A and B are shown apart, each in its own frame.
Chain A
Amino acid sequence: MEQTIPEVIRTVPLQHYVFFAAALFSIGVLGVLTRRNAIIIFMCVELMLNAVNVLLAAFSAYRADPNGQVFVFFIMAVAAAEVAVGLGIIVMIYRNIQNTDVNLLDRLKW
């Protein structure tokens, strides 16, 4: 039998999506706060963004409202651009200090 994607999504209860996204987001926040490697932090940021994306897609399906999915595409596009810029910055940092530890970048104090 043929099932549309929203129908597939709706096979899982909404609460599960919410809990899953919250867990994913928290992992991202903790990662950003605790890790020192710039690339890991970057990945954690992506994790947070995607947690939101999952949530958006789930609500979109449950409410039969395509606006949520449009928004997901926006976030993905912006995230892609951000990744390009962010990675560029990280590369430049690495070239300068042969390291990607953010704690070494503490000159902007006092």
Chain B
Amino acid sequence: MAEQAPLAVFGGSPLLYVLIPLLPFLGFLINGLLNRRLSGTVAGVIGSATVLGSFLISVMLFTQFTGTPYTVHLFDWISVGSLHIPFDYQIDQLSLIMLLLVTGVGFLIHVYSIGYMHHDENVGKFFAFLNLFVFSMLLLVMGANYVILFIGWEGVGLCSYLLIGFWNKHTAFNNAAKKAFIINRIGDLGFLLGIFLIYQTFDSVEYGSVFQQAAKLPVGAGVVTVITLLLFVGAMGKSAQLPLYTWLPDAMAGPTPVSALIHAATMVTAGIYMVLRSNILYTLSPDTLNVVAWVGALTALFAATIGLAQNDIKKVLAYSTVSQLGYMFLALGVMGYTSSLFHVLTHAFFKALMFLGAGSVIHAMSNEQDIRNMGGLRKALPITFLTFLIGCLAIAGIPPFSGFFSKDEILAHAFEHNKVLWGIGLLTAFLTAFYMFRLLFLTFFGEFRGTEEQKHHLHESPASMTMPLIILAILAAIGGFMNAPLVLGKGYLADFLAPLFNYSRQANPEAFGAEIDHATEYMLIGLSVAAGVLGIVLAYVQYVSRRVRPADDASQRGFLENLVYHKYYVDELYNTLFVKPSMFLSRGLHDFVEKRVVDAGVNGVGRGVFGGSQLLRNLQTGKVETYLLLMVVGIVVVLALNFMNF
């Protein structure tokens, strides 16, 4: 257990730490309670200011951090029998980086939302939910035990549901929200079982004591494998991995800033955070790591192929997010823990950037999302175009943009570990470059294909929207240098994070692998860059030189193309396998158990009482004689009984 060493300022009081999640929560209360009375801009400023406050405190904590992790004890939360769950915050390398990410990117997206949601009638509600989300996410990353992690985990799930269905007048959007919520429930069940098993095994849910005890177990212990697999099921749901990924593309029904914040930058990385947090457990179980790596790699490839044929600007980005999350799990599975977090960070920058850019495009196009109706937007939206281009270059892995460094590191780890996984990763990198530039070229190059009205309306977004774009673009461009590969110099991030993996390194030193030699590293870098460039060139030839346009929905397609266009019919498959049978079961239960048994029982009781009363009320004749007679008879009977007894 790390020792307690709170900050020197504030006389060691935990107030500062409490404020980090509490500020967004206050924003939620103000915006939520005064929803109708605040103007949209005021609500936006309150929402953004609270997150900015949390960001500033996080920066302060970060700069004063000495390298020794510590916990901040707030109060004893649950204390029953041998079960003790304190409400503690964990301040260490991992939570500090996540704090900076969540509050920093969160703040930019809040500012962006002021402009983006300007025309909406429920801005107060929007910012209230957004603040609540930030609160839950901060709780998730700051908690010092699995139970607090779980509260945050459920909180972000709830906010995700609320925000996907934010425009709740559309049934389709509500269905998307429900889908996200239900699929996440499946994952959460696994996660919850994992926590139970942790408690049963280690008699504690606190990180400190669990990890300390776990470090003494041998590599490959069965119970650890079960725990990690169960926890991973939770991560699969939250981070949209095969087979639970289908909710994420549908979640694009929410407002675009929501997609950027929740479904690209922060919430979906909660699964990766959780695995990183429990890295000692995963290190002890090579089997689970194998599962994680393969699920990640397959998800990366699978989602990338679907991304090739999507025509909705946000759907492309959504599948790209699923694919990149797969990359991060691939990194976790091959024990590239640092590179996974590195990719979380760079991905947060460039994917948030691209979502916000897409939002800017949608805003300019009057809510048009189909890239077949766009084109040539580069002149009308120069800032959006430039920043989007940087995002695309970053995700395609072109040096020196951030995605290049993180992706390259993941591929290097995969190469050491398993050549097949590396091959899948490389293929995915190529596909990613292709479909991202397909999106870019179709949106910003060529002739405008929308209506005259849309063309007339085209405009660059206001400063509140372009400023976050520019800041994120700068981060996406240079963010990679915080952990440049070894041949180019020093990995700052790797050095900073190293203490996190102490237990893992002790428990299984050889699994971390030797450093690969420079020649191989150059070869790998060359190959991954070549894959990215090849993808870009192919996209250029196809969509700029040859001016190919994606086919209409109704047109004939070849077998493979059709399969990809319809997302491998996974949604239809799930519908047939799970949704329809459970609907059938529910209908059956409703028609038979509910109507024939429960309703009949309840109504029967009511009818019985009613019938009985109908009979009994005849006693009330209103005739005085009857009453008197009954009274006399009663007295006589009472007296008679009395005499018989004595």
0/1 string, B602-646, CB within 8 A of A gives 1: 000000000000000110111111001100100000000000000
Chain A contacts for B617, CB-based, 8 A:
110
Q: A residues bordering B, Cβ < 8 Å?
A: 29, 32-34, 36, 102-103, 105-110
A103 touches B623 (CB 8 A): yes
A33 touches B629 (CB 8 A): yes
Contact of B620 among A33, A102, A103, A110 (CB under 8 A): A110
B632 touches A109 (CB 8 A): no
In the assembled complex, 5 residue pairs joining A and B whose CB atoms fall closer than 8 Å, in A order, are A33-B625, A36-B625, A105-B624, A106-B623, A108-B620
A107 touches B625 (CB 8 A): no
B632 touches A106 (CB 8 A): no
* Alpha-carbon separation in the docked complex, A32 to B635 (Å): 15
Task: List 4 A-B pairs, minimum CB-CB distance, nearest first.
Answer: A109-B622, A106-B622, A102-B624, A109-B620
Chain B count of residues within 8 A CB distance of the other chain = 11
Contact of B632 among A29, A36, A102, A105 (CB under 8 A): A29
Given contacts A108-B620, A110-B618, 14 further A-B contacts (CB under 8 A): A32-B628, A33-B625, A33-B629, A33-B632, A102-B624, A102-B625, A105-B624, A106-B622, A106-B623, A107-B622, A109-B620, A109-B622, A110-B617, A110-B622
Chain A contacts for B620, CB-based, 8 A:
108-110
Closest CB-CB distance, B634 to chain A, in whole Å? 13
* Alpha-carbon separation in the docked complex, A29 to B628 (Å): 9
* Alpha-carbon separation in the docked complex, A103 to B624 (Å): 7
Q: B residues bordering A, Cβ < 8 Å?
A: 617-618, 620-625, 628-629, 632
Chain B contacts for A32, CB-based, 8 A:
628
Closest CB-CB distance, A102 to chain B, in whole Å? 4
A109-B620, A110-B620 as given contacts; A103 in contact with B632, CB under 8 Å: no
* Alpha-carbon separation in the docked complex, A104 to B496 (Å): 100
Chain A contacts for B618, CB-based, 8 A:
110
* Alpha-carbon separation in the docked complex, A36 to B629 (Å): 13
Chain A contacts for B629, CB-based, 8 A:
33
Chain B contacts for A33, CB-based, 8 A:
625, 628-629, 632
Closest CB-CB distance, A86 to chain B, in whole Å? 13
Chain A contacts for B622, CB-based, 8 A:
105-110
Chain B contacts for A110, CB-based, 8 A:
617-618, 620, 622
Chain A contacts for B623, CB-based, 8 A:
103, 106, 109
Chain A contacts for B625, CB-based, 8 A:
33-34, 36, 102-103
Closest CB-CB distance, A60 to chain B, in whole Å? 23
* Alpha-carbon separation in the docked complex, A77 to B629 (Å): 27
Closest residue of B by beta carbon distance from A109: B622
Chain B contacts for A106, CB-based, 8 A:
621-623
Closest CB-CB distance, A29 to chain B, in whole Å? 6
Closest CB-CB distance, A98 to chain B, in whole Å? 18
A109 touches B628 (CB 8 A): no
Closest residue of A by beta carbon distance from B618: A110
Chain B contacts for A29, CB-based, 8 A:
632
Chain B contacts for A36, CB-based, 8 A:
625
Closest residue of B by beta carbon distance from A36: B625
* Alpha-carbon separation in the docked complex, A34 to B629 (Å): 9
* Alpha-carbon separation in the docked complex, A55 to B623 (Å): 32
Chain A contacts for B628, CB-based, 8 A:
32-33
* Alpha-carbon separation in the docked complex, A32 to B632 (Å): 10
A29-B632, A33-B629, A33-B632 as given contacts; A109 in contact with B624, CB under 8 Å: no
Closest residue of B by beta carbon distance from A107: B622
Among B620, B623, B632, find the residue whose CB has the most chain A CB atoms closer than 10 A: B623
